[in-house]
Structure 1
Amino acid sequence: MFKYFLYIIVGWDLIKTLSAQTELKRLNQLGENQQKWFEYDAQKETETQGIIEAAKKSLEDQVKAIHDKLETKLTAIYSFLEHSQFADVDYTRSKYTHPDLFQTIGIRRFYLEMGYRQNWHDALSACRRMGGNLATIKNEAEMLALLSKAKRRHEFWVDINNMGDGVYRTTFDGKPAPYLRWGKGYKPGSQDCVSLNEDTKRMHNSQCTRTHFFICQEEPGV
């Protein structure tokens, strides 16, 4: 009887040992699977990062190619505009003025462009896009008031030219300019368009293709 009881105890211990070994094997297998999963995730993450980097590099290359192409086109356009005539210049006046651009000088409102130089035709177009016009000077007091706002030795286009019949007129109504005060050595009729010179405080006439700063007036005409 004792012998059978001993067999039972030994058998039970054997069963527990086998069960423990089975559990240990299962845990080892689970650990191996987890390691494979981690390795798989790391590999996938590396592959995904590689795809992202490749896509980023491709987009950067495309953006650079587009930028280079646009820069080439803009250079060609600027070159064309610099050498073109003025038949196609848009002189359309905007229906709306931009009051924040204009300041009161004397009894009228003006805008002095002192950042970009333009030829006379483009200056006229820029003023009209603001809803105004190139400035027509009414008298000496107004001319001096405008030039007092300018920086030294600047030259400004105004709305006076003799491109028609040789008479210096305004573009707004075609009437003769209400005020002219020529600088020393400048002869009326020798050139086409008129500018104000801050240094001499007088008017100069020169080719309309030259580039100067310019003055706009808020209202269309004097």
Structure 2
Amino acid sequence: MTTSRLILFVVLFYIFIDSSKSGETCMGSERYSSFLKIDNNYYYIPHDNKINWFGARDTCRRLGADLATITTNDQLNAISSYLLSKGYGENDWFWIAGNDLAQEGNFSWVSNGEKMTFANWSQGQPDNNGGIEDCVHLWLREGQFKMNDWQCRNGKAYYICQAPEPKMVCLWV
């Protein structure tokens, strides 16, 4: 083995050993192992703990994701179909990234700061009931999960995190 090949082997071996300690594998990051692909997006949808909107966002961010940003009817239909196929019903509400915390009635996505140009509100929504509903969740109405505004801090719901497509890099010598 030539000296340059030996040096390359040692460097690559060190990188492999060092990266194996970080939880990264050739299959991609471990933190995305609980995410599932629905249509063209990756989601994490836990059903074990209801929390407020701020806690949901913090949890998603710790996972390298954010609350789901739903920008098309096809995307909402795919999520709704998945939730229905898993048996979720009228008592299962899910936080998403929409809110009008900055200015009442002007909904935007916390995940990217952009204005919500798509919304499929349930009938009569958003209504800012009691003047304290600023965060968006999905709930089952008329046979489909639709959007509703609700109390960010006092409302407790499940949540949907959305992650970028997991990337993987494999290096073989």
TM-score normalised per structure 1: 0.52
Q: For residues 56-115 of structure 1, what are the alpha-carbon distances to aligned partners after superposition, in whole Å with 9 as ceiling and x for unaligned?
A: xxxxxxxxxxxxxxxxxxxxxxxxxxxxxxxxxxxxxxxx77121101001111111211
Instruction: Describe the shift of the 1:106–1:122 C-alpha distance in structure 2 as closer, same or farther (beyond 3 A).
Output: same
Instruction: Describe the shift of the 1:141–1:185 C-alpha distance in structure 2 as closer, same or farther (beyond 3 A).
Output: same
The whole-number CA distance in structure 2 between the counterparts of 1:136 and 1:184 is 21
Structure 1 position 188, deviation (Å): 5.2
- Report which structure shows greater RCO (CA 8 Å, sep ≥6): 2
The whole-number CA distance in structure 2 between the counterparts of 1:189 and 1:175 is 20
The whole-number CA distance in structure 1 between the counterparts of 2:39 and 2:33 is 17
User: In structure 2, which of residues 56, 81, 95 is the aligned counterpart of residue 157 of structure 1?
Assistant: 95
Instruction: Describe the shift of the 1:97–1:143 C-alpha distance in structure 2 as closer, same or farther (beyond 3 A).
Output: farther
Higher helix share: 1
User: In structure 2, which of residues 55, 64, 74 is the aligned counterpart of residue 122 of structure 1?
Assistant: 55
Partner residue, 2:152: 208
User: In structure 2, which of residues 130, 135, 151 is the aligned counterpart of residue 193 of structure 1?
Assistant: 135
The whole-number CA distance in structure 1 between the counterparts of 2:81 and 2:63 is 23
1:162-177 paired onto structure 2 within 5 Å: 162-166=100-104, 167-177=106-116
The total of aligned residue pairs comes to 125
The whole-number CA distance in structure 1 between the counterparts of 2:126 and 2:111 is 24
Q: Which runs of 5+ in 1 are unaligned?
A: 1-95
Q: Which runs of 5+ in 2 are unaligned?
A: 1-28, 166-173
Partner residue, 2:123: 184
What amino acid is aligned across from residue 113 of structure 1 in structure 2? P
Higher strand share: 2
Q: For residues 129-170 of structure 1, what are the alpha-carbon distances to aligned partners after superposition, in whole Å with 9 as ceiling and x for unaligned?
A: 000000000211111211222212211000000000221011
Instruction: Tell me if the contact between 1:133 and 1:219 (Cα under 8 Å) persists in the aligned partners.
Output: no
1:140 aligns with 2:140: no
Cα RMSD of the aligned pairs, angstroms, is 1.9
User: In structure 2, which of residues 8, 15, 40 is the aligned counterpart of residue 107 of structure 1?
Assistant: 40
Per the alignment, in what secondary structure is the counterpart of residue 160 of structure 1?
strand
TM-score normalised per structure 2: 0.66
Instruction: Tell me if the contact between 2:94 and 2:158 (Cα under 8 Å) persists in the aligned partners.
Output: yes
Structure 1 position 186, deviation (Å): 1.5
Instruction: Tell me if the contact between 1:97 and 1:131 (Cα under 8 Å) persists in the aligned partners.
Output: no
What amino acid is aligned across from residue 101 of structure 2 in structure 1? M
Instruction: Tell me if the contact between 2:122 and 2:141 (Cα under 8 Å) persists in the aligned partners.
Output: no
The whole-number CA distance in structure 1 between the counterparts of 2:141 and 2:124 is 14
Greater gyration radius: 1
Identity %: 26
